[in-house]
Amino acid sequence: MSGVVWSVSAALFLLGLAGVALRRQLLAMFLGLELMVLTAALALGCTASLSGRGEGFVAALLVLAVAAAEAVVGLVLILRVRSSGRPAETQSLRELKG
């Protein structure tokens, strides 16, 4: 598992993490989220190809499928927030606290 794969996937993962943590719009955060998941899938795939163990590919594929399902739900929620008249930003989701 060469260092190149790890440095790339780590960088991408941190990029996605930053996207989720720092952005205010929900959609931007969602993109960050998807980036993180796909980076993991990428890492799995590359590792599998390098080590020749087929399991990694199976895992990557399944991860993609599950991520897709998750994405659907995420988008639905963001749309519901928009349709309820609030801007799709973290600031509008402040009522529950304490």
Partner 1 sequence: MNGISSAFWDLLRPQAALAVGALAVLAAGASRRASLQVVKGLALAAVVVALLLLMTVRLQVVCLPLLRSDLLGSGLQAVFLSAAIPLLCLMEPADEVPPALVLGSLIGMGLIAVSGNLLMLFIGLELMSVPAYLLVARSRSPQALEASVKYFFAGGTASAIYLMGMALHFGAAGSLVLAPAPGPAGAAGLALMAAAAFFKLGAVPMHFWLPDVYEASDPELAGFFSTGLKAAAVLFLARLAPMAAPAGALVPALAWFAVLTILFGAVVALRQQNLQRLLAYSSISHAGFMMLAVAAWAKQGLAAPAAGALFFYLAAYLFMSGGAFLWLKAAGVRTRAELLGLAKARPRDAAVLAALLLALAGIPPTAGFAAKFLVFWEAFKAGLYAPLLLAGLGALISLGYYLGLIRDMYFDEAGPEPAKAVGPTPARWFALGCAAASVLLGLTPWLMDWFRPGMFGLRP
Partner 2 sequence: MSSLPPAALLLFLAPLAALAAAFFIMRPWKPQWTHVPILISCGVVTAAAAYLAAMVYTGRGADVTLYTWMFAGKWSVPFGVRIDGIGVSVLCMVALVGALIQLYSVGYMKGDPGFSRFIMLLHLFYLSMIGLLVSNNYVQFYLFWELVGACSYFLIGFWSHKEAARKAAMQAFLTLRLADFGLMLAVLLIIVQFRDTHFALFHAVRFFPSMYHPLIGLLILWAAAGKSALFPLYFWLPDAMEGPTPVSALMHAATMVTAGIFLLVRSWPLISAVPGLPGLIAVVGAVTAIFAAVLAFTQTDLKRILAYSTVSHLGLMAFAVGLGQITAAVFHLVTHGFFKATLFLCAGNIAHASGKSAVSVSEVGGLWRRMPLTFAAFAIAAFSLAGIWPCAGFFSKDAILDAAFERGGWAWAAGLAIAAASAAYIFRMLFLTFFGPRPEQSPARSLHEAPPVMAVPVAFLALGALAVGWAREDLVAMLFCGRQSAVAAPSLPELAPKVAAAGLGLAALAAGVVFALTMGAPSWDWHWRRRRPGLAAAFAGDLGWRRVVAGFVARTLRVADVVGRVWDHETWDAAIEKTATACRALSRGGSAMASGGLSESLWWLMIGAAALLAWAGLR
List of residues contacting partner 1 (CB under 8 A): 1, 6, 9, 13, 16-17, 20, 26, 29-30, 33, 36-37, 39-41, 43-44, 47-48, 51, 53, 55-56, 58-59, 62-63, 66, 69-70, 73-74, 76-78, 80-81, 84, 93, 95-98
* Residue with smaller CB distance to partner 2, 62 or 93: 93
| Contact assessment for residue 12 and residue 35, using Cβ atoms and an 8 Å cutoff | yes
Output helix, strand, coil percentages for the chain, rounded to the nearest 5: 80, 0, 20
Which 14-33 residues touch partner 2, going by CB under 8 A?
17, 20-22, 24, 29
Amino acid present at 66 = V
- For residues 92 and 49, give the distance between their C-alpha atoms in angstroms, rounded to a whole number: 44
